[in-house]
Amino acid sequence: MKKILVYLSNEPQPSLFDLIVAYDSDVDVVLPYGNVSKDDITDMVYGCIFTRRPKKLINTAILIGGSDSDLADDMMKKASKTFFGDFRVSIMADPNGNSTTSAATVAKIKDKLTDLTGMKSVVLAGTGPVGERVSVLLNREGSSVILTSRKQEKAEGVCQKIKEKYDRDITPMQVSNDEECLKAVRDADIVVGTGKAGIQLISKEIWMQCPSIKVLADVNAYPPAGIEGVDVGDDGKEMEGKYLFGAVAIGDIKTKGMRDVIRRMYEEKGAFMTLEKIYDIT
């Protein structure tokens, strides 16, 4: 029986990247749907779970993509509530690659440092979906986490959202100038840049003043770098006693991790791929 992946996106055109990765994950058939709303989910799930005998549903899975992380999470929750008894399929949400990128970023850091317990992490410009998820995973590994934004209120809002959604305590901090940036990272062990493409978040001059920093990771692939001095291809390169990770090196693990998660969905019927489970597989 063919392995079928149903790909759902709120965007008009489903992501070609996601579709290609799905085929590279040994999926036989990918069925892409665009312009999908939360209201569409129940009927689409019915179409997935009632077309094959329950024992054969291990060969069907759903991947929710798109550009809206909160919407994708809501879609995934609604789908899971539609499942019942043996009528369920595996499902994951990875809009804009946010979950797999976050998992890859923290996996890279942990691979280098081994144990993050008791360390201090600073996630610069962390109010977006990747910053939110990186903060959650770093905290899960035992690190205290500061999440920054140019506006204190925005940082506080995201930290409150993380508390409600993941039950993780993250500290919000305003960083709107070099002085505030230095204050945030001065005694940090880990600094991660998760800002918008093409915006420098921290200068090399600032992080060079911080001997405690062990790892600098930047998920931004477009110049200028979010963390000055970190090249997109850096994969644990050592500079001034610090290990540097760039977006391309992180992206390699992100893509591999995404393939591994998709494959796993066909090994465990009804697998519910949360952020934490995606990270564990990555």
Q: How far apart are the C-alpha atoms of 4 and 71, rounded to whole Å?
A: 23
User: What letters, b where the CB count within 10 A reaches 16 and e where it falls short, cover 89-105?
Assistant: bbbbbbbbbbbbbbbbb
Tell me what the mean pLDDT of segment 230-253 comes to: 96
Cα–Cα nearest to 44, from 14, 2, 86, 89: 89
pLDDT-based confidence at 192, cuts 50/70/90?
Answer: very high
In this prediction, residue 13 carries a pLDDT of: 95
43: tokens are 């009927």
pTM here is 0.95
Percent of the chain with pLDDT over 90: 98
Residue 178, helix vs strand vs coil: helix
Same topology for domains 4-93 and 98-251, yes or no?
A: yes
The CATH architecture of the domain made up of 4-93 is: 3-Layer(aba) Sandwich (3.40)
Sketch the domain layout of the chain as residue ranges: 4-93, 98-251
pLDDT-based confidence at 198, cuts 50/70/90?
Answer: confident
In this prediction, residue 194 carries a pLDDT of: 98
Q: How far apart are the C-alpha atoms of 185 and 227, rounded to whole Å?
A: 12
User: Are 279 and 107 a contacting pair, CB within 8 Å?
Assistant: yes
CATH 3.40.50.720 fits 98-251, yes or no: yes
Q: What is the pLDDT of residues 202-241, one digit of tens each?
A: 999 999 999 999 999 999 988 899 999 999 999 999 998 9
Q: What is the pLDDT of residues 92-141, one digit of tens each?
A: 999 999 999 999 999 999 999 999 999 999 999 999 999 999 999 999 99
Tell me what the mean pLDDT of segment 21-45 comes to: 98
